[in-house]
């Protein structure tokens, strides 16, 4: 499991560790790991051109000492200095190893301008200017080390770092390898938020512990491949802010049938999904629940959907919606251990009554899709005493919270935790990175590491609902069911897609293999 800690916790752990070791030990440990990673990316190191973007913070010092190690192995290292001061020891060591230093700030007659993703000569330039030597060092580099800001940076990059970010991106597009020191400059380490310009890295080498900003978009997208260098913080770190499950963790949480198991002991899921208009939602959610391990699935749906599901999933236990009142309809479906309500069920008055009846039970309930639309129009249905899990995308959460969708996508951690606290539910916020937050204050959030853009296809949310609901019925806690469901959902997409387009139905077929791969790690 990847444990991620917010900046205050990292700072406190660093201070506690530094009190027990000689001065500079942590920086040297970080620099050694960083240099080793860079060495593995350069073939060969001797003669390679390396640009070190160094600010005035500790990450700048880490980058300088790593550059020193590379220079001693024959790399041609140039430091682009952006801060008012650089780490004195690191700068002295790099110069002694033969490194060069140039200033990022332009002087008269020594400038280029960067605008609209391009560079031009200084003549006639009126906007952002940086030193020509700095641009040359970055543009010609085989590898660029981003040590502009540290984990304490917030509010976006300031000049000249903001302009240099554009120069770095141009170089990256031309083949330079960009390595971020601890995290990409411009990314908020605690949240993943990005305000303004930021560095896009190919690889991020982080130190001591994972940072939430490396796991949550938009920061995660900018981080590229991530590696953790152990510098000894472990004993001094508190409970994490965020957790990302790995295969071994999923395997330990997956319910496994025993010799005494039968279909009822394995968990029975009640599924309120589908309508005469949206028959596919019922079929997708039912299939995912079956392949998610539920012993039985009791589907309550419209007549047309009953016919579709009967042909596709004959093992499902079907109840056709008629004229009876919602509580009696649910009772007629039979005993279940959890409910899923929402996929394709409609949003009319009768659908609202059925959702209200489900929420009136004492069972765990997952609410998705149309169910979330109903909740937005009927906020009095929440909170409830029993466990409740909602699975909105950013647009659905915007309706629930009366917030701006774009702001939710930019501040995923904030809105997931805020919604969980306000609504008294567990929130699985779908999107580029799935964030799962519970209503309990101080508990870490889960961040799913297996997401893929191939999941952006109609019906994939219905599959996630059925799969996660089956895990609820099998006894997992709401946050655990959400985390395991999201992990298997993403892994199934990767298996099914294999870098080619897929439909939601393909996810269901890949779920057994996804579960098998996770279980092999147990």
Any idea what the CATH number is for the domain that residue 337 is in? Answer: 3.40.1190.20
Which pLDDT does position 57 carry in this prediction?
87
Which pLDDT does position 260 carry in this prediction?
77
- Residue 187 and residue 169 share a domain: yes
Per residue in 31-62, pLDDT tens? 999 999 999 999 899 999 999 999 988 999 99
Per residue in 284-303, pLDDT tens? 999 999 999 999 999 999 99
Do the strands 2-4 and 242-244 form a parallel or antiparallel pair, or are they unpaired?
Answer: antiparallel
- Residue 270 and residue 418 share a domain: yes
Which pLDDT does position 128 carry in this prediction?
60
- Residue 236 and residue 254 share a domain: no
Which pLDDT does position 119 carry in this prediction?
39
- Residue 328 and residue 421 share a domain: yes
Domain final residue, candidates 242, 262, 277:
242
Q: pTM value? A: 0.93
User: Would you place residue 124 in the very low, low, confident or very high pLDDT band (cuts 50, 70, 90)?
Assistant: very low
Across 109-118, 244-253, 481-490, least confident range: 109-118
The C-alpha atoms of residue 183 and residue 192 are separated, in whole angstroms, by: 10
Degrees (nearest 5) of the Cα angle 3, 494, 199?
Answer: 55
Q: What is the CATH number of the domain that holds 159?
A: 3.40.50.10260
Domain final residue, candidates 242, 276, 302:
242
Once rounded to an integer, what is the mean pLDDT over residues 257-276?
88
- Residue 79 and residue 37 share a domain: yes
Per residue in 135-169, pLDDT tens? 999 999 999 999 999 898 777 898 899 999 999 99
- Which alpha helices (H) appear in 73-180, and where do they start and end? 88-96, 132-139, 161-173
- Residue 384 and residue 359 share a domain: yes
Best CA proximity match to 309, nearest among 294, 321, 299: 299
Do the strands 242-244 and 225-229 form a parallel or antiparallel pair, or are they unpaired?
Answer: unpaired
Helix (H) or strand (E) holding 475: none
Cα separation values, 187 from 196, 314, 359, 414, Å: 9, 50, 40, 15
Which pLDDT does position 109 carry in this prediction?
58
- Residue 276 and residue 261 share a domain: yes
DSSP class of 158: P
- Residue 381 and residue 439 share a domain: yes
Contacts 24+ apart (CB under 8 A), 402-410: 409/217, 410/193, 410/194, 410/218
Domain final residue, candidates 212, 242, 272:
242
Range of the domain at 38: 2-242
User: Would you place residue 418 in the very low, low, confident or very high pLDDT band (cuts 50, 70, 90)?
Assistant: very high
- Residue 264 and residue 231 share a domain: no
- Residue 376 and residue 328 share a domain: yes
Q: How long is the chain? A: 522
User: What percentage of the chain carries pLDDT values higher than 90?
Assistant: 86
Report the domain count for the chain.
2
Lookup result for tokens 């702001």: 407
pLDDT, greater one: 245 or 264 = 245
- Residue 463 and residue 444 share a domain: yes
Which pLDDT does position 122 carry in this prediction?
32
- Residue 256 and residue 148 share a domain: no
The C-alpha atoms of residue 446 and residue 249 are separated, in whole angstroms, by: 12
Q: φ, ψ for residue 118 (rounded to 5)? A: -140, 170
Averaged pLDDT of the chain: 93
């Amino acid at each position: 499991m990847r444990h991620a800690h917010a900046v205050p916790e990292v700072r406190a752990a660093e201070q506690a560790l530094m009190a027990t070791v000689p001065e500079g030990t942590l920086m040297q440990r970080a620099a050694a790991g960083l240099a080793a990673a860079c060495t593995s990316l350069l073939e060969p190191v001797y003669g390679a051109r390396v640009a070190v973007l160094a600010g005035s913070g500790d990450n700048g010092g880490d980058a300088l000492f790593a550059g020193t190690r590379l220079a001693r192995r024959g790399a041609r290292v140039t430091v682009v200095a952006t801060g008012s001061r650089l780490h004195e020891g690191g700068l002295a060591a790099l110069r002694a190893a033969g490194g060069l230093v140039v200033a990022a700030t332009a002087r008269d007659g020594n400038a280029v301008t960067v605008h609209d993703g391009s560079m031009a000569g200084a003549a006639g330039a009126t906007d952002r200017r940086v030193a020509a030597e700095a641009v040359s060092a970055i543009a010609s580099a085989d590898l660029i080390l981003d040590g502009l800001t540290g984990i304490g940076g917030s509010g976006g990059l300031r000049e000249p770092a903001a302009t240099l970010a554009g120069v770095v991106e141009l170089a990256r597009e031309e083949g330079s390898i960009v390595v971020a020191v601890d995290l990409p400059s411009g990314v908020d380490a605690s949240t993943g938020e990005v305000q303004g310009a930021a560095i896009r890295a190919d690889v991020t080498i982080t130190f001591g512990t994972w940072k939430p900003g490396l796991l949550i978009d938009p920061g995660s997208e900018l981080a590229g491949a991530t590696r953790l260098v152990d510098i000894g913080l472990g004993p001094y770190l508190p409970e994490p802010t965020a957790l990302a499950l790995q295969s071994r963790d999923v395997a330990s949480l997956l319910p496994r049938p025993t010799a005494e198991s039968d279909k009822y002991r394995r968990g029975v899921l009640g599924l309120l999904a589908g309508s005469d208009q949206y028959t596919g939602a019922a079929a997708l959610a039912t299939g995912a629940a079956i392949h998610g391990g539920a012993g039985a699935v009791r589907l309550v749906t419209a007549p047309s959907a009953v016919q579709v599901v009967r042909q596709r999933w004959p093992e499902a236990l079907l109840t056709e919606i008629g004229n009876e009142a919602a509580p009696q309809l649910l009772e007629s479906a039979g005993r279940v251990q959890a409910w899923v309500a929402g996929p394709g069920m409609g949003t009319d008055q009768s659908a609202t009554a059925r959702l209200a009846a489900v929420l009136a039970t004492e069972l765990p309930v997952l609410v998705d899709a149309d169910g979330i639309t109903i909740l937005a129009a009927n906020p009095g249905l929440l909170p409830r005493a029993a466990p409740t899990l909602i699975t909105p995308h950013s647009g659905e959460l915007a309706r629930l919270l009366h917030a701006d969708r774009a702001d939710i996508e930019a501040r995923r951690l904030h809105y997931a935790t805020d919604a969980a606290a306000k609504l008294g539910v567990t929130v699985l916020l779908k999107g580029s990175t799935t964030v799962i937050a519970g209503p309990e204050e101080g508990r870490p959030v889960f961040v799913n590491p297996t997401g893929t853009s191939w999941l952006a296809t109609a019906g994939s949310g219905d599959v996630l609902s059925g799969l996660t609901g089956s895990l609820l019925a099998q006894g997992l806690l709401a946050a655990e069911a959400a985390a395991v469901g999201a992990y298997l959902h993403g892994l199934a997409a990767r298996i099914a897609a294999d870098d080619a387009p897929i439909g939601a139905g393909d996810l269901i077929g890949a779920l057994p293999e996804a579960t098998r791969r996770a279980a092999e790690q147990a």
